[in-house]
Chain A
Amino acid sequence: MFLARRLVLAHFWVAFVAFTAAIVLGEWQMFVRSPLSAWVGDAEHYYRSVTGHGTVMGYVFPTLVAMGFGYAITELALKQPLIGLRWAWAGFWLAIVGTVMAATPIALGRASVLYTFYPPMIGSPFYYLGIVLVVVGSWIWVALMIVNLRAWKRTNAGKPVPLAMFGNVAGAYLWAWTSVGAAVEILFLILPVALGFKDTIDAGLARVFFSWTLHAIVYFWLMPSYIAFYTIVPRAIGGRLYSDTMGRVAFVLFLVFSMPIGIHHLFADPQLGAGFKFVHAVFTAMVSVPTFLTVFTIVASVEIAARLRGGRGMFGWVKALPWSNPMMLAVTFSFIMLGFGGAGGLINMSFQLNETVHNTQWVTGHFHLIFAGAIVIMYFMIAYDLWPQLTGCRPLSPALVRAQLWLWFLGMMIMTLPWHWVGLLGMPRRMAYFDLSNPAMAGQGWTLVAGTVGGLMLVVSALLFILILARARASDAKASPFSFSTAVHMPATTPVALNGFGLWVAMMIALTVVNYGFPIAQLASLKDTSVPAIFVGGQ
């Protein structure tokens, strides 16, 4: 009962290989800016590397993981063969062609615009077209997820949709809608300029469209990890999911609240009114609710595991947890990083506090801690957990996995906590070079060294991850059938609102219209707001 095995494996391998290449670029960036190295002497090389790192880590890696995991969930949770296998392969190849098409101009220095595009900078049109192809490939995945769920519902009328699939399709709807912003920006604002039909661009409007994508994309990255929290972690550590309903509520809340909030990335942008910035700040605060619900539910589920193992007392049960189980370790590390990163995020979203940290290394620290830390460490666990199903191997060596997780966690903390600190001191982000010979900056050099050391641990951890997966060999022993977590009370029926998405998708679109409609219409109608494009890479 796992026919899409090769499809899932292909997605995962491409994702992980791209991830490993991009992490090496990241470490090189840390190294050349630190006092450990003489500076490269050419800022363009630095930004070329940042663009490659960001494009792979932001578009290619998480998208392929979400797609691969989504296909796996479809078969494993719905217990029906994946409908549209050929379409799925087509989506995969589109993503591959797109990745190569985007990576080539980056490597040639023709697209050093960073993965957030930053108009009026304009790079090679192939870079943008490549990203469009990756996104179109992922839209095929979105359609397939919806089609597969529909088919299941037809034959299972009235039954609750398995929680893993519910979260998976919530992620698909979220991605479908949030990717529209960047798609509009590329197709209607950037590409006409990159292709030479125009030589000015409305940078302010383009930034607003990108913000449409920029924040909710983070929740698309996060969905696989949250699905793993709810539907894999409790089973893997021998517990029960505390509440199936809470999982559904968290997923639909992400759907509603992660979209209309992107303007909190634009607090310093003059083209937007303060009123909309405030409204977006308030709605950003609301996305912390599903995260708090999740943390509560998963901690409660973990406590159930501990008490089943004989844990006693108010806090004594913590000792009874299966600490040698890599999943236990991973969820702990993930929550610690989510705690620090989330607290930092609440500071970022506060209209006033943001002034202090806007465009500083604090922000770089924040999103690495949340995404590369809390989220990616769960991507590792998803791969480890599915690997026996995918390759027919024996369960992977827990000792190696634990070493890999420790390295990742410590490396990430060592890299990102000093970034937060030095951001408070005002060190700007996106800098190719820091003048550490200046007495005002000299005292901050240690944070760059710490970043390099932490980054090196991350590289080693990533290589170890690849090694563990690559060494897994098929064995004769048949893998035991895959199962998702069992809830304390498995739902016999579910409220119709928590078994489908119509209401929540409608709310997501309505809130987007309210929170983005006016700023976009107003900026689009202003005359003389375009500025000359700045072509990078000597075009």
Chain B
Amino acid sequence: MMQPASMYAWSNRWFRWSVSGLLVFLVVTLLVGFVWLPSVQGDFTAKGIWDGICRAAGAPREWRSPTSSSGAAERTTSVVLTPTMARSGSADATGRGGTLAIQQCSMCHGAQGMSESGAPNLAGQYPEVVAKQLHDYKRGDRSSAIMQALAQKLSDRDILDIASYYDSLPRPKAARMPAEGRGAPALVRSGDPLRNIVPCAACHGASEHKLGAPWLDGMPKGYLIGELRDFASGARRNDSFGQMRNMVRTLTAQELDSVAEFYARREPDDGKR
């Protein structure tokens, strides 16, 4: 038998058959995947065969049909959280923020960021959390008669400075309602997988802290319950991607209460980031 001299010659039958075989196989597969299969799907071929091919390639010529618009009802937050927002501000920013906060915030949130009036505690709160909420109030994505009015007047820099100030305050060691040594509720530790509820601790500390999630330990219980109810009912909708609304929608009243109770009694951990 004659041995072909070169691998890449048409006279080499291995080359001839494998290359032509592979080509035919590839072309047939492409035709089936991009022409034939889309042709039996109405939405793929509604605008002609070329449009069908583009869609099968993952590149539709238009991404959204003009009828589906994002109306006011879908309005949620417009803040995009990035890790840079979690960095502590400069001493200047903190000082400036302190001046603003004493004038405008301390009435409710306390001189040291610990509220005596049922408003959330802000001492030691993550800066991206405070900044996001203020932006949301300012743009009307989170509603509160007082906070919306106050936030209106804040510039972007004011917001960063205030966030930096609260970030700089120490979290108090002792909570006003000491924990009774009870373990965390199952919802906090392990969530409820069958209801698609992840553990609270996966974002709000203990297991892991996620960007944009506030620390909750020692927060007023009434505040926590109120916000959880608002998330559940959809009255509050400034959570990115509906994270909180999806978590609490299926919780029962007792579960809401036990989770809020747990966090209200929990001592803030001193291990700040």
B222 CB within 8 Å of chain A: no
A42 CB within 8 Å of chain B: yes
Q: How far is the CA of A319 from the CA of B88 in the complex (A)?
A: 75
With CB as the reference atom, state the residue of chain A lying closest to B26: A514
Binding stretch for chain A, among B154-162, B163-171, B204-212: B204-212
With CB as the reference atom, state the residue of chain B lying closest to A439: B194
22 pairs across A/B with beta carbons < 8 Å? Answer: A39-B190, A41-B190, A42-B206, A42-B207, A43-B190, A43-B207, A44-B207, A273-B56, A273-B57, A274-B56, A278-B29, A278-B56, A496-B3, A496-B5, A497-B7, A497-B15, A502-B8, A503-B15, A503-B18, A503-B19, A532-B80, A538-B208
Question: Apart from A273-B58, A440-B194, what 6 extra A-B contacts exist at CB < 8 Å?
Answer: A273-B56, A278-B33, A438-B194, A497-B12, A511-B26, A522-B58
B22 CB within 8 Å of chain A: yes
Q: With A39-B190, A511-B26 as given contacts, are A199 and B34 in contact (CB-CB < 8 Å)? A: no
A535 CB within 8 Å of chain B: yes
Residues from chain B with a CB closer than 8 A to the CB of A274 are: 33, 37-38, 55-56, 58
Q: How far is the CA of A381 from the CA of B107 in the complex (A)?
A: 75
Interface residue ranges of B1-52 to A (CB < 8 Å)? 3-8, 12, 14-15, 18-19, 22, 25-26, 29-30, 32-34, 37-38
B192 CB within 8 Å of chain A: yes
Please state if A502 and B194 are interface contacts (CB–CB under 8 Å).
Answer: no
B177 CB within 8 Å of chain A: no
A interface residues, Cβ below 8 angstroms from B: 39, 41-44, 199-200, 256, 271-276, 278-279, 282-283, 286, 428, 431, 433-435, 438, 440-441, 493, 495-498, 500, 502-503, 507, 511, 514, 518-519, 522, 532-536, 538
Residues from chain A with a CB closer than 8 A to the CB of B81 are: 532
B174 to chain A, nearest CB (A): 24
With CB as the reference atom, state the residue of chain B lying closest to A431: B193
CB-CB nearest 10 A-B residue pairs: A273-B58, A275-B56, A497-B14, A278-B33, A199-B83, A275-B34, A275-B33, A273-B57, A199-B82, A282-B29
Query: Which among B30, B55, B58, B82 has the greatest number of chain A C-beta atoms within 10 A?
Result: B58
Q: How far is the CA of A431 from the CA of B58 in the complex (A)?
A: 30
B58 touches which of A256, A271, A286 (Cβ 8 Å): A271
Q: How far is the CA of A502 from the CA of B8 in the complex (A)?
A: 9
Please state if B83 and A535 are interface contacts (CB–CB under 8 Å).
Answer: yes
Interface residue ranges of B36-91 to A (CB < 8 Å)? 37-38, 53, 55-59, 80-84
Please state if A532 and B33 are interface contacts (CB–CB under 8 Å).
Answer: no
B199 CB within 8 Å of chain A: yes
Q: With A275-B38, A275-B56, A276-B58 as given contacts, are A435 and B193 in contact (CB-CB < 8 Å)? A: yes
With CB as the reference atom, state the residue of chain B lying closest to A500: B7
Residues from chain A with a CB closer than 8 A to the CB of B15 are: 497, 503
Residues from chain B with a CB closer than 8 A to the CB of A272 are: 58
Residues from chain A with a CB closer than 8 A to the CB of B206 are: 42
Please state if B22 and A256 are interface contacts (CB–CB under 8 Å).
Answer: yes
Q: How far is the CA of A42 from the CA of B191 in the complex (A)?
A: 11
Residues from chain A with a CB closer than 8 A to the CB of B22 are: 256, 507, 511
Q: With A282-B29, A522-B58, A534-B210 as given contacts, are A275 and B53 in contact (CB-CB < 8 Å)? A: yes
With CB as the reference atom, state the residue of chain B lying closest to A494: B3
A524 to chain B, nearest CB (A): 12
Residues from chain A with a CB closer than 8 A to the CB of B3 are: 493, 495-496
B153 CB within 8 Å of chain A: no
B189 CB within 8 Å of chain A: yes
Please state if B208 and A536 are interface contacts (CB–CB under 8 Å).
Answer: yes
B127 to chain A, nearest CB (A): 15
Q: How far is the CA of A438 from the CA of B192 in the complex (A)?
A: 9
Q: How far is the CA of A534 from the CA of B34 in the complex (A)?
A: 36
Q: How far is the CA of A286 from the CA of B18 in the complex (A)?
A: 14
With CB as the reference atom, state the residue of chain B lying closest to A531: B80
B198 to chain A, nearest CB (A): 9
Please state if A199 and B59 are interface contacts (CB–CB under 8 Å).
Answer: no
Q: How far is the CA of A333 from the CA of B194 in the complex (A)?
A: 37
Q: How far is the CA of A44 from the CA of B33 in the complex (A)?
A: 41
B273 CB within 8 Å of chain A: yes
Q: How far is the CA of A532 from the CA of B57 in the complex (A)?
A: 26
B100 CB within 8 Å of chain A: no
Query: Which among B37, B59, B201 has the greatest number of chain A C-beta atoms within 10 A?
Result: B59
Residues from chain A with a CB closer than 8 A to the CB of B53 are: 275
Q: How far is the CA of A140 from the CA of B70 in the complex (A)?
A: 54
Residues from chain B with a CB closer than 8 A to the CB of A200 are: 82
Query: Which among B6, B25, B83 has the greatest number of chain A C-beta atoms within 10 A?
Result: B83
Residues from chain B with a CB closer than 8 A to the CB of A199 are: 82-84
Q: How far is the CA of A278 from the CA of B83 in the complex (A)?
A: 38
Residues from chain B with a CB closer than 8 A to the CB of A428 are: 193
B202 CB within 8 Å of chain A: yes
Please state if B7 and A503 are interface contacts (CB–CB under 8 Å).
Answer: yes
A35 to chain B, nearest CB (A): 14
Please state if A503 and B8 are interface contacts (CB–CB under 8 Å).
Answer: yes
Residues from chain B with a CB closer than 8 A to the CB of A275 are: 30, 33-34, 37-38, 53, 56-58
With CB as the reference atom, state the residue of chain A lying closest to B54: A273
B14 to chain A, nearest CB (A): 3
With CB as the reference atom, state the residue of chain A lying closest to B199: A43
Residues from chain A with a CB closer than 8 A to the CB of B209 are: 538
Please state if A43 and B7 are interface contacts (CB–CB under 8 Å).
Answer: no
A279 touches which of B18, B33, B80, B82 (Cβ 8 Å): B33
Please state if B83 and A532 are interface contacts (CB–CB under 8 Å).
Answer: yes
Residues from chain A with a CB closer than 8 A to the CB of B25 are: 286
Residues from chain B with a CB closer than 8 A to the CB of A41 are: 189-190
Q: How far is the CA of A502 from the CA of B193 in the complex (A)?
A: 51
A75 to chain B, nearest CB (A): 27
Q: How far is the CA of A498 from the CA of B7 in the complex (A)?
A: 9
Residues from chain B with a CB closer than 8 A to the CB of A500 are: 7
Q: How far is the CA of A273 from the CA of B38 in the complex (A)?
A: 11
Q: How far is the CA of A497 from the CA of B19 in the complex (A)?
A: 12
Residues from chain B with a CB closer than 8 A to the CB of A276 are: 33, 56-58
Please state if B29 and A279 are interface contacts (CB–CB under 8 Å).
Answer: yes
Q: How far is the CA of A438 from the CA of B201 in the complex (A)?
A: 21
Query: Which among B26, B30, B33, B194 has the greatest number of chain A C-beta atoms within 10 A?
Result: B33
Q: How far is the CA of A306 from the CA of B225 in the complex (A)?
A: 76
Q: How far is the CA of A514 from the CA of B7 in the complex (A)?
A: 23
A161 to chain B, nearest CB (A): 13
B98 to chain A, nearest CB (A): 27
B82 to chain A, nearest CB (A): 5
Q: How far is the CA of A467 from the CA of B207 in the complex (A)?
A: 39
With CB as the reference atom, state the residue of chain B lying closest to A518: B57
With CB as the reference atom, state the residue of chain A lying closest to B81: A532
With CB as the reference atom, state the residue of chain B lying closest to A532: B82
Q: How far is the CA of A256 from the CA of B26 in the complex (A)?
A: 12
Residues from chain A with a CB closer than 8 A to the CB of B5 are: 496
B 109-150 binary contact with A (CB < 8 Å = 1; else 0)? 000000000000000000000000000000000000000000
Q: How far is the CA of A199 from the CA of B194 in the complex (A)?
A: 33
Please state if B33 and A282 are interface contacts (CB–CB under 8 Å).
Answer: yes
Q: With A273-B58, A496-B7 as given contacts, are A534 and B26 in contact (CB-CB < 8 Å)? A: no
Q: With A41-B189, A43-B199, A279-B29 as given contacts, are A497 and B18 in contact (CB-CB < 8 Å)? A: yes
Residues from chain B with a CB closer than 8 A to the CB of A278 are: 29, 32-33, 37, 56
Residues from chain A with a CB closer than 8 A to the CB of B84 are: 199
With CB as the reference atom, state the residue of chain A lying closest to B5: A496
